[in-house]
Amino acid sequence: MNRLENKVAIITGASRGMGEAHAREFIAQGAKVILADIKVDLGQALADELGDNALFIKLDITKPEDWKNAVEIGEKTFGNINVLVNNAGILGPVAGVMDLKYEDYLKVIEINQHSILLGMQAVIPSMLKAGVGSIINVSSIAGIVACFGFPNVAYMASKFAIRGMTKGAAFEYGPKNIRVNSMHPGFVLTPMMIEATDEDASKEGRSALDEIPLGRISETSELTGIVVFLASDEASFITGQEHIVDGGMTIH
């Protein structure tokens, strides 16, 4: 069964990591997907591999004109956009409150938080034309609790903000049949996580494995299931909610 048949999706940060995993599964489930990223070579190679239902578009998520271009090209190629996965983001410098430079704070907020607004503003008109829409804003468990191993007020601020933006948009556009949910991963084996720590999420002698009841780091594919679900009609009565996928890390 193609769970995403007749869905046209934009997935940001689609060239690698979680975005790539989502794009692959969306295509497998029958969707047409605009792969949006600033990494042109990786993104185009993935689109070529995935075939006619995939289209790569270079998109800097901090630029409104790039969002406008992506939606216009996506509509011309596949039709109205009815799914957005706001996946792209950065960790930024791992720094405590007194060590964080203001310009670094602003950069994290621009990429992780402001881009969520720009993405929603860009796709909602297309979703209104389609008469239906699902927006999945990727936050983090760092948007739920103080995240182990990362004293980073900028990252946490941006990820907490996504929760509020998601709920506000869900409340506003629910009557228009547009659902908006947030997804909150724990530690996931992605290039960004490895760059920040290592393959078992260790840092300075402490390991996240000690904090995760399931005792392991998740694979990107384990995040994709909830994203596919939220994009599909199976989640037609779910909006404005946080969906935590963290191996139980936030139980305590």
Selection from 136, 161, 158, 132 nearest residue 224 by Cα: 136
Q: Where are the beta strands (DSSP E) in 65-163?
A: 83-86, 133-138
- Is 155 in the active site? yes
Contact residues for 178 (Cβ-Cβ < 8 A; gap 6+): 124, 127, 128, 132, 133, 134, 135, 169
Side chain identity at residue 248, one-letter code: G
Contact 80, 130 (CB under 8 A): yes
Q: Is 99 helix (H, G, I), strand (E, B) or coil?
A: coil
Contact 228, 26 (CB under 8 A): yes
* Annotated catalytic residue within 102, 105, 155, 173: 155
Place of tokens 């599909």: 232
Cα–Cα dist 92/110, whole Å: 11
Contact 171, 128 (CB under 8 A): no
Distance of CA 176 to CAs 67, 117, 173, Å? 22, 18, 5
Q: Which residues are catalytic?
A: 155
